[in-house]
Amino acid sequence: MWPACQFVRGLNVDYAIQQLRFKQKKSTLMLAEIIEEAKNRAKEEFHIGNPSNMFVAEAFPIQHKMIKGARRHAREQWCVIRYRYIHVFVRLEEGEPRNLSTRVRQKDGWEKMEDYYAYLRDRDFKYSL
């Protein structure tokens, strides 16, 4: 589910549903249903006038519960089966999607060094004379 959630982040709702249906994987089809349900819920419960003018701000899965079972094979061989359950959270926002390529640039080593030197110079001793 994680790659599918990362794929739709920042896309228009209708375009995200369309693209997810093209992929024809179990996770993408499930996420398409989830986004469509969120779109309908936004229209009915939150009275959004134009739900097609929304974009997927966040989508992420969290593993919830894992139940172990057993399956019997031939000649008394047993196999452990894990039934995995997840929660998928989707947050939709109205308007145009933000440009995700203009994130904050990470500091390089020199900038980190300057910040550390500034921290060292600004510190003082407690209870000193």
- Give the SS3 label for residue 76: helix
Domains in the chain, please, with CATH? 2-96 (3.90.470.10)
Structure confidence at residue 101 (pLDDT): 56
pLDDT in tens, 11-27: 999 999 999 999 999 99
Q: 1 pLDDT exceeds 60?
A: yes
pLDDT in tens, 46-94: 999 999 999 999 999 999 999 999 999 999 999 999 999 999 999 999 9
pLDDT in tens, 97-119: 877 655 577 889 999 999 999 99
Q: How many CB atoms lie within 10 A of CB 93?
A: 13
